[in-house]
Amino acid sequence: MIIEARGDVIKLKGALVENQWTALKSAVTLLLVDHPRGVIMDGSGLTEVSEAGAHTFLDASSFIQAQNARVVVAGLSEDILTRIRKFPGVRSQLVVASTVDEARASLESGGVAVARGKRAVPVVLVPLIGLWRRAVQFAAVEAASRRAELHLLYMLEIPRTLPLGVPMPDMEQKARDTLTEAEKALKRRGVKVRRLTIRTRDIVEGVAKYAGETKPDLLVVAYSKADMAREAGRFTAIDTFCHDAPCDVAIYCVAE
């Protein structure tokens, strides 16, 4: 088998008759340094995959799970997919796309990683949940007063029956559209905006986890006053954000 690396794509050509993960792992690891959004393994050039060769994808699945990496396998024929999906770990962890273009679109929808640790400017985080259009406006005022960046966060909720990194074209397009709408609403506000998309199994827990990892200075959300009154004592989002987010939390109760 021939392995070619170019840009964010590792192309596999020929017959995969042995476990080649050791060679592939080195290439994947190096490419992830230059392409933190993720790497694509293009299997459209594979002519044959033996049972031993299929273990390449099993080991790749284990690596993806352990490293929390985004690696999408594209272009595999139905025969090859059927063979490698016989392995339980592959079925649950390996992310597969039909084409390289579909895989790249999925990776690009993930936004730009935010640097951890010390920052030059404060950050106001706005997850696009609840009454997010109102939250964005409230957050813009806070960001301006703090001379902060405003980070717009869209959460892609992936069913637990699917790999977390699986391409979801419709959901990813909705994420781009929503982020674009939010960004346009801030155009005249004079604040620096960053767009982010994160994959999660649960939206509220995902927001809290992201805030815990990136440590913004302020988290801003808005909910309907009627909804909050109706769910009195059971509005888990507020409890989760107040207890788990390591920052100030501004919760706006909006009368629609």
Neighbouring CB atoms inside 10 A of 253's CB total 14
Contacts (Cβ under 8 Å, ≥6 apart) of 16: 1, 46, 48, 49, 50, 53, 54, 56
What Cα–Cα distance (Å) separates residue 247 from each residue in 48, 51, 122, 135, 142?
53, 51, 11, 17, 14
Please check the confidence at residue 6 and state whether its pLDDT lies above 90: no
Domain count for the chain: 2
Please check the confidence at residue 123 and state whether its pLDDT lies above 90: yes
Domain coverage including residue 101: 2-108
Instruction: Read off the CATH number of the domain in which 233 is found.
Output: 3.40.50.620
31/65 same-domain check: yes
Q: How many residues does the chain have?
A: 256
Region 141-165: what's the mean pLDDT?
Answer: 90
Please check the confidence at residue 88 and state whether its pLDDT lies above 70: no
CA end-to-end span of the chain, whole Å?
61
95/133 same-domain check: no
Please check the confidence at residue 122 and state whether its pLDDT lies above 50: yes
What's the pLDDT at 114?
Answer: 46
Banded model confidence at residue 160, pLDDT cuts 50, 70, 90: confident
Neighbouring CB atoms inside 10 A of 116's CB total 9
Q: Is residue 154 part of a domain?
A: yes
Instruction: Please tell me whether the overall predicted TM-score, pTM, comes out greater than 0.85 for this model.
Output: no
Q: Sheet with 71-74: list strands edge to edge.
A: 2-6, 9-16, 39-49, 71-74, 95-97
Banded model confidence at residue 14, pLDDT cuts 50, 70, 90: very high
Q: Is residue 118 part of a domain?
A: no
pLDDT more than 70, % of the chain:
90
Cα distance between residue 96 and residue 75, in whole Å: 8
The pLDDT tens digits for 100-115 are 888 888 777 664 444 4
Q: Is residue 116 part of a domain?
A: no
Instruction: Read off the CATH number of the domain in which 18 is found.
Output: 3.30.750.24
The pLDDT tens digits for 161-206 are 887 778 888 998 999 999 999 999 998 888 999 998 888 899 999 9
219/247 same-domain check: yes
Cite the DSSP H helix spans in 11-126.
21-34, 51-67, 78-84, 88-93, 100-108
Task: Answer whether 10's CB lies under 8 Å from 41's CB.
Answer: yes
240/135 same-domain check: yes
36/86 same-domain check: yes
154/248 same-domain check: yes
Please check the confidence at residue 116 and state whether its pLDDT lies above 60: no
Q: Regarding predicted confidence, which is higher, 164 or 224?
A: 224
Banded model confidence at residue 92, pLDDT cuts 50, 70, 90: low
Banded model confidence at residue 228, pLDDT cuts 50, 70, 90: confident
